[in-house]
Amino acid sequence: MLSILEAAGWPIWPLLACSVLGLALALERFISLSASRVAPPGVLGEALLAARAGLPTPEVLRQFEEHSVLGAVLASGWRTLQRNPAASEAELRSALESAGRLAAARLHHNLTALGTIASAAPLLGLLGTVIGMIDIFGSQGSAAGLTPGGGDPAQLAHGISIALYNTAFGLLVAIPALVCWRHLRARADAHLLQLEIATERFAQQLCAQRR
């Protein structure tokens, strides 16, 4: 592996950094977007049962907030009623919508960076390819002026290796990053739709009890 990196030249190092960063971002998002962290089964049912009994205790609210993303969104409605028991339905829904927007930002966190890596990796590979081609033509031109037979074969092989290794490594980084980005973005959007539906049911429950 080290010999491949040495043969690819310095343009491979930015690609290697992108691969490490992309892997870290993908793993973080796979963990953060798991159902147990976003919207575990039963959370909405527990919240609806708790809502029928009135405002929960601060300890119960804290448990909901720390339990999952959905729990934090639902707890924001109770927090609003705690601060202002006479809050209107519009104020209650506004608080839930604000919490939902924060949840959406949490769900899409780091996805832009992962998408950027997927887009930039082929370009970095192309940069390495161009540098390798420049190395080839530069060596051939300078050697042709010194020897009647043409360029240096070793220098020519070195330039070709730089070009091909960087092209291959750029694609090797970009393809998994692109697949992970599209999959994780779809998962985040699906969770967001689930949060919207659950929040609407919870808002209807709270508003019905206040009428």
The pLDDT of residue 60 is: 86
Looking at the structure of the chain, the number of domains it has is: 1
The C-alpha atoms of residue 92 and residue 83 are separated, in whole angstroms, by 11
pLDDT digits (tens, 9 = 90+) for 166-207: 888 899 999 999 999 999 999 999 999 999 999 999 988 888
The pLDDT of residue 148 is: 47
pLDDT at 150 over 80: no
Mean pLDDT of 81-87: 84
The C-alpha atoms of residue 152 and residue 145 are separated, in whole angstroms, by 11
DSSP 41: T
Mean pLDDT of 104-112: 94
The pLDDT of residue 146 is: 46
pLDDT digits (tens, 9 = 90+) for 10-46: 778 888 999 999 999 999 999 999 999 999 988 999 8
pLDDT digits (tens, 9 = 90+) for 38-69: 999 889 998 888 888 777 888 888 888 888 99
Q: What is the mean pLDDT of the chain?
A: 85
CB 118 within 8 A of CB 107: no
pLDDT at 1 over 50: yes
Burial track 87-124 (b if 16+ CB lie within 10 A, e otherwise):
beeeebbebbeebbeebbebbbeebeebbbbbebbbeb
pTM, two decimals, is: 0.82
The C-alpha atoms of residue 69 and residue 36 are separated, in whole angstroms, by 9
